[in-house]
Amino acid sequence: MAVEVKIGVQHAPRELTLESKQTAEEIEAIVAEALTGKTGLLSLEDEHGRKVLVPADRLAYVDIGETKTRRVGFGAV
């Protein structure tokens, strides 16, 4: 199951949204490291292998949540 991550960037009109194969705990650790580490850069990889890089000093918020599995088909009403 993929984890949905929403990243708010200061002075940007829209948030960044990606789905990652990493766990919520791993993503939280990466964000914490970016905020306190030497690089000052948040680097996350989405489920397709693309990287998203955001300067840590420009982060407004990071929302980490489990992605719901998508249901296919019709439901009875």
Residue 10 is predicted with a pLDDT of: 96
Block means of pLDDT (10 residues each) for the chain, 77 residues, are 92 94 93 90 94 95 80 64
Sheet holding 16-20: strands in order across?
16-20, 3-9, 59-66
pLDDT tens digits, 21-30: 999 999 999 9
Q: Residues 6 or more apart from 61 whose CB is under 8 A from it?
A: 6, 7, 8
Contact 31, 16 (CB under 8 A): no
Residue 71 is predicted with a pLDDT of: 59
Residue 73 is predicted with a pLDDT of: 66
Residue 72 is predicted with a pLDDT of: 66
Residue 38 is predicted with a pLDDT of: 83
What topology is assigned to 3-66 in CATH?
SH3 type barrels. (2.30.30)
Instruction: State the Cα–Cα distance between residues 28 and 23, nearest whole angstrom.
Output: 9
Domain boundaries, the chain: 3-66
SS (H, E, C) 1-12: CCEEEEEEECCC
